[in-house]
Amino acid sequence: MTEQAVQVRPEWRRGTVSGDGVTLATFELGDPGNPTVLLVHGWPDTHHLWTHIAPRLAEKYHVVAYDCRGFGESDRPREVGAYRLAELADDLFAVAEAVSPDAPVHVVGHDWGSVQAWEAVSRPRAHTRIASFVSVSGPNLDHLGQLLRAGLTRPTPHRVRTIATQSLSSAYTGLFQLPVLPNALLTALGNPRAWKQFLHTVEGTPPENVVVAGTLRRDMITGLALYRANIRQKLSRPDPRPTTVPVLQVVNERDIALRPAIYDNTPDYAAKLWRRDTPTGHWLPYTHPAYLTDTVLDFLAAQTGSDAPPTVERLRVFAEPKPLAGKLVVITGAGSGIGRETALLLAERGCELVLADRNLDTAAETEQACKVAGAVAHAYLLDVSDTGAFVSFAATVREQHGVPDVVINNAGIGLAGGALAATDEQVDRLLDVNLRGVITGSREFGRQMVERGVGGHIVNVSSAAAFTPSRSLGLYSASKAGVLLFSESLRAELAEHRIGVSAICPGIVDTNIVSSTPIAGLDSDSERTQRDRLDRFYQRRGFTPDRVATEIVSAVEHNKAVVPVTPEAKVGYRIYRFAPWLSRIGARQKVTG
């Protein structure tokens, strides 16, 4: 999903800043008495890149964009050496000092704008002139060079993969080093209509969102000097330096030019680092301007101390980045068993957790355990069978914590015994919790994810019973088969929105669901006896819920569709697909009831 283009262009106040013999065109919005936000574009953009973002920032801040040297209305030095990062960082400081002489500025950089801002924040005097830095789609080339050097001198499988994938993504930079061919190609691509179509083709950027200057073709060709002046120099002789400037690194997981792994060593050099990973592409200011604006505003609020949103703190990086770190995760049935173990595992990964259960006391126990693990966690009372309450809960999560990145619909109950012996109340309760609850959670949070437009993941806990028919579990199997097929269908529906859906299908797992499972058609004494027998069997089986939690986290990280978990689930899944007659024979065996 993409956001609708902003139809009204900002009415910039134009000016110039001169330094080192180069005159830079500046463009301002907002009250100069407010803190200044300096917007720095990359290749082949100009200040127009910020068309959809600057007006909202200007409601609270003094916003200044400028055309970098070689672009738009600014001067165009002819020498390649004039485009080294040292000169570009000098330009940034010159603009900052001219537009905000008495206070440091907040910098937001994209692409080469981010690259040159990294050079600026790595200078000793940066902490006096730069209050914070939001980096979007642009690495520190010294960090990258150091990472590549480590991959060559101390190779590991991860480092080798990083070098290989990034080399493939960066192949165009080699082309840009050539003297004639790239000029000819960019002459054709420099037509505004062709460039908009190119962006739409490579990452779905809406053409109506792309705002370019009349100097686009010239900017493309002049901007080749950025690659020629810096790539080989920085990657072959990196000089990584630390920074104390607070940095938010926005990492786009679908960036066509930059792979997420190249940012892994940033914590080694940034003392105050936050990181947000999203399944978005390179030109985020065009594809999701509202999302990026909200991200910047939240971070600026945290840095200025004005109503800092709690969403920012979960993005803080204190050591090596972890997969899923900073994600907001909602888990139902989080008070015990699989739900609790999944919460604890995600707490270790650095997620913020919203924990719902029909027993608030057990949810609070999970909340406390997650906090001990260093995570931010919140416990809520929720009966997933109450659709109205679930709808209200989803709205509360959005209002209090934001749109979740991951939702795990785990809450479930059991029902054993024959279908004919079950009461209507038992059937209704089973379907309301196991199926309707999953559907409600998926629909409510799925709508939020679609509206936000930057993807997400939904996990629905089904069961091996979904594909293992049994005369003693027919109703339970029906509820879990509904979850499985609903999840498969929802996955197809949400794929275009970059929202993954996984169905988790455990077999025999030692949780407390057995001890609370009613057995239809039995008196209370017989039910208790058979339930105790099954409970002892599950305990002897010894497959613990933490192993299911590991599979759930893996399903999110790798966007798996259907995950049979236990050995019997994996075997049963294949038997039902390839030899269903064997499943039917096994279904006749009486387990209980």
CB neighbour list of residue 410: distance below 8 Å, 6 or more residues apart: 331, 332, 333, 334, 338, 339, 342, 459, 461
| Phi-psi map region of 221: left, alpha, beta (phi>0 left; psi -120 to 50 alpha) | alpha
Nearest to 206 by CA among 409, 3, 490, 473: 3
Contact indicator for 375, 351 with CB cutoff of 8 Å:
yes
d(CA 79, CA 82): 6
Q: Which residue has the tokens 């090596």?
A: 320
Contact indicator for 437, 480 with CB cutoff of 8 Å:
no
The angle, 0 to 180 degrees and rounded to 10, between the axes of the packed helices 112-121 and 141-153 is 90
Q: How many CA atoms lie within 13 A of 214 on its CB side?
A: 1
How many other β-carbons are positioned within 10 Å of the β-carbon of residue 169?
A: 15
H or E stretch covering 450: helix 437-452
d(CA 480, CA 125): 61
- At position 156, the amino acid (one-letter code) is T
Nearest to 276 by CA among 265, 263, 287, 286: 263
End-to-end CA distance of the chain: 49
- At position 454, the amino acid (one-letter code) is V
Nearest to 36 by CA among 97, 85, 110: 97
Residues forming the active site: 476
Nearest to 162 by CA among 175, 144, 174, 176: 144
3-class DSSP state for residue 203? Answer: helix
CA angle (584 as vertex; 578, 586 as ends), nearest 5: 105
DSSP code for 436: I
C-alpha separations of 570 from 443, 524, 573 in Å: 28, 34, 5
Contact indicator for 186, 221 with CB cutoff of 8 Å:
yes
DSSP labels, 326-381: T-EEEEESTTSHHHHHHHHHHHHTT-EEEEEESSHHHHHHHHHHHHHTT--EEEEE
3-class DSSP state for residue 135? Answer: strand
Bridge partners (DSSP) of residue 353 are 329, 377
d(CA 84, CA 89): 9
| The two three-digit tokens of residue 47, written as one number | 């200040």
Q: Beginning with the edge strand found earlier in the chain, give each strand of the sheet holding 62-66 in spatial order.
A: 13-19, 22-29, 62-66, 36-40, 105-110, 130-136, 247-252, 273-278, 316-317
